[in-house]
């Protein structure tokens, strides 16, 4: 008998919303890769080899997200190796989390002018793409949380101070405190720019800084430093606070550091046509964010793997499920398999 928990209506609905929000973006990428000039004022722009590579890469990223969303609704998704689920969703939520917050804030601060950035891409493309990103970001995060509550219930049912054997705690402490130091520096620089500071920014970038851009700098700085603090809380392992609370903060912040740092480095190294050509301290900050986020992710992976020794923890009831689904609930092993 297959005792893998079935997806509830909440998980299925969230995954469907995410996949539906991805379809316009995936369609646009297919059209561009096929040579269509739709949404582009310069037909030769998409023929650039770097843009072809970037379009193929971003299409692949969204396709992986669609497969993950589908996996969150299927029994086979519960049997996927943990790293095959956690790594892409960590990067994806780190990237999408900033967009989900910043797009509405940017519209409040700048209105429709937020998408009038000039260049060869027409404004309606940005409206469609970022609107889709919000839908898939909210849907993916909701579906993943409900999926994780079934697969790894111990994460949601234990406190930070729950005892567990650890062979790498000393290593984790060194990484966590080191990451906190670096994230504090990153946050300080971003807060400085958010408050109008120009030091370290190329003059043309400083002159072009908008209210939305300043808020984004502040948000990224905040995510960085609170992730550093949350990781220290997790590694110290003290207190009765629910384990999932600092985990969510560390997860989103470290994923944002790694995801946006990696994207910035790819754009810089390939000299992509859409690159702003920003060099110097901004690039250095993104590089340190990439490396720090990667170190934080590795530390978190060790921590989660070692905590996975807790067995027979009953998963929390999904609020969107009906009462007649209670019979489908069984004790689950939350180990990261």
pTM of this prediction? 0.87
Give the whole-angstrom CA distance, residue 178 versus residue 158: 26
> Distance of CA 225 to CAs 160, 235, 320, Å?
19, 16, 34
- In order along its 337 residues, the chain shows pLDDT tens digits of 456 767 889 999 999 999 999 999 999 999 999 999 899 988 788 888 888 999 999 999 999 999 999 999 999 999 999 999 999 999 999 999 999 999 999 999 988 888 887 788 899 999 999 999 999 999 999 999 999 999 999 889 899 999 888 899 999 999 999 999 999 999 999 999 999 998 888 888 888 889 999 999 999 999 999 999 999 999 999 999 999 999 999 999 999 999 999 999 998 888 766 665 556 788 999 999 999 999 999 999 999 999 886 554 444 444 444 334 444 444 344 444 4
Give the whole-angstrom CA distance, residue 75 versus residue 72: 8
Paired strand residues for 332: 313
Do 237 and 161 contact (CB within 8 A), yes or no? yes
Instruction: State residue 121 phi and psi, 5-degree precision.
Output: -95, 130
Rg for the chain, CA atoms, rounded:
21
Do 221 and 189 contact (CB within 8 A), yes or no? yes
Q: Which of 205, 208, 223 is nearest to 296 (CA)?
A: 223
Give the whole-angstrom CA distance, residue 37 versus residue 31: 8
Q: Which helix (H) or strand (E) holds 81?
A: none
Q: Which of 126, 78, 122 is nearest to 106 (CA)?
A: 126
């Amino acid at each position: 008998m297959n005792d893998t928990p079935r997806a509830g209506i909440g998980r299925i609905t969230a995954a469907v919303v995410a996949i539906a929000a991805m379809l316009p973006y995936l369609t646009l990428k297919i059209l561009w890769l096929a040579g269509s000039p739709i949404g582009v004022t310069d037909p030769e722009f998409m023929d650039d080899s770097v843009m072809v590579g970037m379009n193929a890469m971003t299409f692949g990223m969204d396709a992986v997200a669609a497969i993950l969303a589908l996996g969150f609704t299927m029994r086979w998704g519960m049997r996927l190796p943990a790293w095959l689920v956690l790594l892409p969703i960590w990067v994806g939520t780190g990237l999408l989390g900033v967009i989900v917050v910043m797009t509405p804030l940017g519209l409040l601060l700048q209105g429709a002018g937020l998408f009038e950035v000039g260049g060869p891409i027409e404004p309606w493309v940005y409206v469609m793409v970022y609107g889709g990103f919000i839908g898939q970001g909210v849907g993916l995060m909701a579906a993943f949380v409900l999926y994780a509550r079934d697969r790894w219930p111990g994460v949601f049912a234990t406190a930070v101070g729950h005892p567990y054997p650890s062979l790498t705690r000393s290593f984790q402490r060194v990484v966590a405190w080191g990451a906190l130091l670096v994230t504090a520096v990153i946050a300080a620089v971003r807060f400085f720019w958010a408050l109008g500071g120009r030091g370290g920014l190329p003059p043309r970038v400083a002159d072009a800084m908008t209210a939305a851009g300043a808020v984004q700098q502040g948000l990224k700085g905040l995510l960085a430093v609170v992730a550093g603090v949350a990781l220290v809380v997790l590694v110290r392992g003290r207190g009765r606070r629910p384990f999932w609370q600092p985990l969510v903060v560390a997860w989103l912040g470290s994923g944002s550091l790694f995801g946006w740092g990696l994207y910035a480095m790819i754009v810089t190294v390939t000299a992509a046509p859409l690159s702003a050509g920003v060099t110097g301290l901004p690039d250095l900050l993104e590089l340190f964010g990439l490396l720090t986020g990667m170190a934080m992710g590795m530390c978190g992976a060790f921590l989660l793997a070692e905590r996975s020794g807790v067995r027979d923890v009953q998963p929390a009831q999904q609020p969107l499920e009906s009462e007649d689904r209670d019979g489908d609930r069984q004790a689950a092993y939350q180990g990261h398999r």
